Amino acid sequence: MAAFEYRQAEEVRDAFARHAVRYLFIGKSGAILLGFPDTTQDADLFVERSPTNCAALVTALRQLGFALSEPQADEIRRGKDFVQLKNGPFDLDLVFAPDGLERFEDAWKRRVEVEGFPVCHIDDIIASKAATNRVKDRESLPRLRSFRNYWLAKHGR
Amino acid sequence: MANVETPAHLPADCMEEFEAAARRPLPLRWRYAFIHTYKPVLDDASFRAFDTMEDYRRWCEQNLPDWLGYGRV
């Protein structure tokens, strides 16, 4: 599996827009979209858990080249809390209930658009990483908080 | 992007890094950011789904090597 290329991110953005999938980039991939200079291996998407949205998501993923069997598609349609996809052209994590964030709608209202990519607000990305409380997140949080201060000073929101 | 004063409480080295990143176009930032290395166990299945985040966290702790950093503090 090769690294997730920008061209592929654009394909995700465009396919999800065509099918009106409501989602947000979250985690380090979201922070990178906001300008955070760091590395990551895959993209995490916070997806709205509704029957219509999950059905649209399955259609969009299949168009992008993810080989979803019908039982796998059903698990996505049911909106399981966390789905890890490594059966497509790039790795993708679907998160329907990220730690530290209560409701998709609240995060959606706070979202930031970066060249057409819907991204969680930096405060939501940090809240989610802090709530996860994993070793790897603990290590990256101080620098991410510094970036938050920089980003807020630049954007004033 | 607005030209604003540097937040006083930011470490200087961080500030330089953030400013340099902000000058790069998004496709270039993306190319620098996304890497791929094999992660044992995690990369060995093409699909996984977990009913709850707690199930996922527990699975990570029970199945992944500690050095990957997926365990909780």
pLDDT, tens digit, for every residue of A57-78?
999 999 999 999 999 999 999 9
Q: Report the pLDDT value the prediction gives residue B2, as an integer from 0 to 100.
A: 39
- Name the minimum distance, in Å, from the CA of B7 to any CA of chain A: 6
Which member of A36, A75, A114 has the closest CB to residue B26?
A114
**Number of neighbours of residue A103 by Cβ within 10 angstroms:** 11
Sheet holding A117-119, edge to edge: A112-114, A117-119, A23-26, A43-47, A92-95, A82-85, B47-50
Instruction: Note whether B49 contacts A72, CB cutoff 8 Å.
Output: yes
Chain B within 8 Å of A113 (Cβ-Cβ)?
Answer: no
ipTM: 0.93
Instruction: Note whether B22 contacts A132, CB cutoff 8 Å.
Output: no
Instruction: Note whether A149 contacts B51, CB cutoff 8 Å.
Output: no
Mutate to test the interface with B, among A68, A82, A112 (most CBs of B within 10 A): A82
Q: Which of A58-67, A126-135, B6-15, B51-60 has the lowest mean pLDDT?
A: B6-15
Which member of B20, B22, B47 has the closest CB to residue A85?
B47
**Tokens at A114, concatenated:** 């970066």
Helices and strands in chain A, H and E counts = 7, 6
What letter would DSSP give residue A25?
E
Q: Which of A13-22, A132-141, B46-55 has the lowest mean pLDDT?
A: A132-141
- Give the DSSP per-residue string, B19-58: HHHHHS-HHHHHHHHB-----TTGGG-SEEEESSHHHHHH
**pLDDT above 70 (res B4):** no
**pLDDT above 50 (res B3):** no
**pLDDT above 80 (res B10):** no
Which member of B5, B33, B49 has the closest CB to residue A38?
B33
Q: Report the pLDDT value the prediction gives residue A2, as an integer from 0 to 100.
A: 76
Chain B within 8 Å of A73 (Cβ-Cβ)?
Answer: no
**pLDDT above 80 (res A125):** yes
**pLDDT above 60 (res B23):** yes
Q: Report the pLDDT value the prediction gives residue A100, as an integer from 0 to 100.
A: 95
**What is the distance between the alpha carbons of residues A75 and A137, in angstroms, rounded to a whole number?**
27
β-bridge partners, A25: A45, A119
| pLDDT, mean over chain A | 95
CATH 3.30.460.40 fits A6-151, yes or no: yes
CB proximity under 8 Å: A 51-70 to B: 67-68
Instruction: Note whether B36 contacts A83, CB cutoff 8 Å.
Output: no
What's this model's pTM, rounded to 2 decimal places? Answer: 0.94
**pLDDT above 80 (res B7):** no
Q: Report the pLDDT value the prediction gives residue A75, as an integer from 0 to 100.
A: 97
pLDDT, tens digit, for every residue of A137-148?
988 999 999 999
Q: Report the pLDDT value the prediction gives residue B5, as an integer from 0 to 100.
A: 47
Chain B within 8 Å of A82 (Cβ-Cβ)?
Answer: yes
